[in-house]
Amino acid sequence: MPAKKKTAKKTSKKTTKKKSAGPWDAAFAPRAPGEARYWLVKSEPEVFSFDDLLHKHNKTTHWNGIRNFAARNFMRDAMRVGDRVFYYHSGSDAPSIVGICEVVREAYPDDSAFDSASEGYDPKSDRSKPTWYMVDLRAVAQFTHPVTLAQIKERKDLKDMALLRIGRLSVSPVRPSEWAAITRMAEG
């Protein structure tokens, strides 16, 4: 019966052994009415650049191939239609945020995980209970002055950005203050 679950909990709570409420919890917290949130996605321009996105029909693509649980959780559990997303080019000469897109469709199963011919094939993912999800993103604006990783690292007020703190994560949250600072930097 459910009574059992409840009791054990209280005591173990005070030690805050739960990673002291992770710095990224805010990304999952309930939203105020009309509140939009901000994100960053990475892509190697050789594979799929912001320019490629601009040339897609409706400047829209599905963000598939994410095979990391933390990134998946941000996408599936926290990204909402209307959220704004920085587009980051990794692996290039000057890794940079090059533009902005927006979420136009919330998470739905990533079909490439079921396709044995696909690079993203995951035999452990089942159609009835998919492991991997994708969202649809539409390009909104290209930066005239891309904001480089080096620039971001120079700024004290950006040192806690998930981009810098969570290594190699392909989808990460951006705080409103960080969003504001970077869009200002992109104005040149």
Contact positions toward DNA, by CB under 7 A?
42, 44, 68-70, 90-92, 95, 124, 149-150, 153, 165-170
Q: Per DSSP, what are the bridge partners of residue 170?
A: none
3-state secondary structure of 117: coil
Beta carbon nearer to DNA, 34 or 167: 167
Rounded Cα gap, residues 174 and 28, in angstroms: 12
CB of residue 78 to DNA, shortest distance in Å? 16
Beta carbon nearer to DNA, 150 or 180: 150
Nearest in space to 88 (alpha carbons), one of 155, 162, 188, 34: 162
3-state secondary structure of 47: coil
Beta carbon nearer to DNA, 22 or 82: 22
CB of residue 168 to DNA, shortest distance in Å? 4
Beta carbon nearer to DNA, 36 or 65: 65
Rounded Cα gap, residues 85 and 136, in angstroms: 11
CB of residue 77 to DNA, shortest distance in Å? 15
